[in-house]
Structure 1
Amino acid sequence: MIRYDKENLILIGISYKTAPVDNREKFSFSKETISNALNDIKRIHGVSECVILSTCNRTELYIFADRSSDEVSESIYEYILNTSGMKKDFLRLSTGAVLYEIPIRIKFSLSYLIIFSCPGKI
């Protein structure tokens, strides 16, 4: 049985904060490609589970590793760089408990490119 430890949680992604749109397009998934990508990632040694979030402003891989997050992260980087042709500089890596807040920030629009309000509307 796999023991899920917060230190084995990995996020590797790209967003409007880290890269221009032409680079975000290199590392994105369509309805047609996401299933194959998910299967490829789950076959990487050390990846226990994976969720892919892919929108026009971000692509993020949330991964639970069953071994050292450093080793798994390097394998994921290699996969991304080989399949997308982009530079590692545009990707961001986060590990551990800090990742639990990211989906909440996305859900409540705290981490979107454009936030607007309509004057006179509440």
Structure 2
Amino acid sequence: MKKIFITLIIFTVGFAGKSMAQRMGGNFDPAQMKARQLEQLKASNLHLTDVQADSVVSINMDMMQQTRGMRDLSRDERMAKMKALNDLRMKRWTAALNNDPALAQKVADFYEQERKQRMQNRNQQ
């Protein structure tokens, strides 16, 4: 009886975890993420050309790859590395956006707003 009960609990927990991952958008395919980001940028009021939007998204994807190994770092090390990466991202965005730092800042503000909306949506679920 105990074995059946424990098996049932394990099955229920596994099923609940799988359904939560699907609900939270568990599909993190890089190609789909890039397409989704391109779509969001084109729908925004930033008025980026296709080449500029593609450059911005490619830079983001590259930066995302570089941040993946940072979980093992201490908080201070991670913060310092994130600051350096964010500075590099801004420089690369500025170069990709015809050396327009104001437009690069608008893109940064756009992504910050998107991040806040995701966090707010996550907290409401």
TM-score (norm 2): 0.31
Q: Which has the higher contact order (CA 8 A, sep 6+)?
A: 1
Q: Which has the higher helix share?
A: 2
Structure with greater proportional strand content: 1
TM-score by length of 1: 0.32
